[in-house]
Amino acid sequence: MLRRNNRGIVMMKRGNVGLLVLFVVYTLNYLDRSLVYILFEPIRKELELSDLGLALLGSTSFVLFYTTLGVPFGRLSDRVSRTKLIAAGLAVWSLASAGTGLAGGFLALLACRVLVGVGEATLGPAAYSLLADWFPPSRRGTASALFAAGIPVGAGIAMIAGGWMGQHFGWRATFPMLSLPGLLVALAVLMLPEPERGAREKPAAASSPWSLLLRNKALLLTIAGYASVAVASNAAGMWIPKLLAARYERGIGEVGLWVGICAVAGGLLGTALGGWLSDRLERRMLGGRLVFGATVGVLGAGAWALLLAAPSLPVALVACFAILALGLAWLGAASADVQDAVPAMHRATAISVYTLVVNVIGLGLGAPAVGALSDALGLQSALWLCPVASLAGAAVLAVATVVRMGSVGTVDEVEPVTAK
């Protein structure tokens, strides 16, 4: 008994250290992903790019490789060392992000962003697999939430530090200065212990999930609804800094500071409260998380309308805070919704499909659509696409709630797993 307790304490300590390192990695992930957004304007001026060109750099070039390689890297992480895979990916995306500062034209910038997407595609599947082996089922939700906190922290650092450094040192110097430290973190990842794979799980029955997933109306509607909401969420970090700088005639340093504060404070608040509130609703009613997601979509549309009609910068910043908080509040509910819509044996596949569709539509297609509309109508008018997409997503999620309530008993119950 004493030996078993000592082993549990050791595993707990290793998991906590590993979680801290992975949080830092995820922070760097979103820092390098978001850094280009705050530097859009100086890049556009030097290289004479259109808003559509900026959108292709900031989203499509990244997301096409990030999403399509997610499933292959997920399979690879089941076969090789996950810590080594994450370290290799971190080194690749850090070097690619740093190389952005050396790019001489659009195609070179595009190639760097593609490599950032390739490198970052290694993180998600391997990281969540490690967390599942480090922590027992009773702690995995908390561990996943703490890991996801790297999203607002990384985005906030990109806005604050990237905006200040871009204004004082230029955009070309900013990329390597903020990206190259990732190489040191990659060495720390290599020192993490590789836990026994799947030691805490019961073996699942083998089956082909694809026909079941395509017939699952609740799942398809859930994914479609969140993909539409994601159009507005992803547009926030990409276009709000540019909008505020142009409309209120402020430098990227000042805009980056304010948007960065909103991203960190709003993102952490949205991540923490979103998971808690959606779980409470789900315990009170079937489809409670879907109701929460639909509500977030409606509130998000209102926040976008306030931003676009704001008479002053303070009002715009209040709207920005709300948009960034709501833009992360639905993430925990979304992953849980997708898993609730399918039998346990197909949940990993469902999550990978959800990630692919939400990123391709929300980031890969939504961002270029805003960019193209901006070139034709102006950014202010183009961003009205965001509240429309948010309301459309809310409507689809409402329909998904009705379908989910009508399919009670068709989804198997989750069997409790005893921690080893």
How far apart are the C-alpha atoms of 57 and 367, rounded to whole Å? 10
C-alpha distances out from residue 299 to 59, 126, 239, 328, 337, Å: 25, 34, 19, 13, 19
Position 200 scores a pLDDT of 55
Residue type, 108: A
Which residues in 10-23 are b (16+ Cβ under 10 Å) and which e? Answer: ebeeebeebbebbb
Least Cα distance to 354 among 219, 154, 242, 200 occurs for: 219
Cα-Cα end-to-end distance for the chain: 13
Position 139 scores a pLDDT of 62
How far apart are the C-alpha atoms of 247 and 243, rounded to whole Å? 6
Q: Is 81 left (phi over 0), alpha (psi -120 to 50) or beta?
A: beta
How far apart are the C-alpha atoms of 105 and 230, rounded to whole Å? 30
**What DSSP character marks residue 364?**
I
Residue type, 374: S
Least Cα distance to 306 among 314, 294, 316 occurs for: 316
**What DSSP character marks residue 208?**
-
Residue type, 5: N
Q: Between the CA atoms of 220, 225, 226 and 227, what dihedral angle is there, to the nearest 10 degrees?
A: 80
264-265-270 Cα angle (round to 5): 100
Q: Provide the token pair at 297.
A: 């979509």
Q: Provide the token pair at 3.
A: 């030996």
For residue 329, how many other CB atoms are within 10 A of its CB? 28
Position 199 scores a pLDDT of 57
What contacts 129, CB < 8 A, 6 or more positions away? 77, 78, 82, 197
Q: Provide the token pair at 396.
A: 């689809």
Q: Which pLDDT tens digits describe the chain residue by residue (420 residues)? A: 444 455 555 555 677 888 899 999 999 998 998 898 888 888 888 888 887 788 777 776 667 777 777 777 767 777 788 899 999 999 999 999 999 998 888 888 888 888 888 888 888 778 877 877 787 754 665 677 678 788 888 988 998 899 889 888 999 999 999 999 999 999 999 999 888 765 555 554 555 566 667 777 888 898 999 999 999 998 888 889 889 988 888 887 888 888 888 988 898 888 878 877 887 888 788 888 899 999 999 999 999 999 999 999 999 999 999 999 999 888 877 877 776 666 545 555 666 778 788 888 887 788 888 888 988 899 899 999 999 999 999 999 999 988 877 765 444 444 434 333
Q: Is the CB of residue 296 less than 8 Å from the CB of residue 280?
A: no
For the CA atoms of the chain, what is the radius of gyration? 21
Q: Is the CB of residue 101 less than 8 Å from the CB of residue 173?
A: yes
How far apart are the C-alpha atoms of 82 and 129, rounded to whole Å? 8
Residue type, 156: G
Ordered by where they begin, the domains of the chain are 1-191 (1.20.1250.20), 208-408 (1.20.1250.20)
Position 16 scores a pLDDT of 83
How far apart are the C-alpha atoms of 182 and 157, rounded to whole Å? 14
